[in-house]
Amino acid sequence: MFRSFVLAALPGFFCLSCQSTASTAANSPATANRLPTPAAALFETRWVVRQLGSQHVTVPAGGQEPYLLLRRAGAAEGQGSCNRFRSSAFTDSTSTLTFTPLLSTRMACPAIATEQSFTQALAATHSYRISGDTLRLYAAPTPTATPLARLEAVYLR
């Protein structure tokens, strides 16, 4: 009889222990605050444009999401709203970043103003800062309060 009781109660104990652990971990803000988000890598990361100056970037229906991809070998490539581009990127410290003039296709599209703002921001870039999954590009040689562009790391699976 004792054996039957133990066998009947055992699944209940497992359910209670699983529920208690999951509930505690999910509701604990201290756990979330203790785990720092590592900074994304500057190179070999797809950086999607989220803001240019003070304007948030929205992708029109059927449009392309603007992005930047920096390669370790010094190449930069990406997509404006309409056109693909290539350039060389130079970084000689932990915050300096400059681009050579961009080579780009020249197709027209409804979001050409966003693309022009993005390419102008890249041309004016002299420094950057990465915080978590956010890359900010700055015109000043050292990062200042107002970025030219804010980009977000997107991880492809």
Residue ranges, the chain, pLDDT below 70: 1-37, 156-157
Does residue 40 fall inside a structural domain? no
Tokens in use for 21?
């652990």
Residue 116 lies in a domain: yes
Res 36: pLDDT: 64
Euclidean distance between CA atoms 30 and 33, whole angstroms: 5
- Is 39 inside any structural domain? no
Specify the pLDDT at position 35.
61
What's the CA gap between 23 and 27, in Å, rounded?
Answer: 6
What is the rounded (10 degree) CA torsion for 11, 12, 17, 18? 70
> Is position 50 within any domain?
yes
Predicted TM-score (pTM) of the model is 0.74
Output the pLDDT for position 62: 77
Residue labelled with tokens 């201290």:
30
Range of the domain at 6: 2-34
Check residue 39 and give its pLDDT. Answer: 86
Give the CATH number of the domain where residue 100 resides: 2.40.128.270
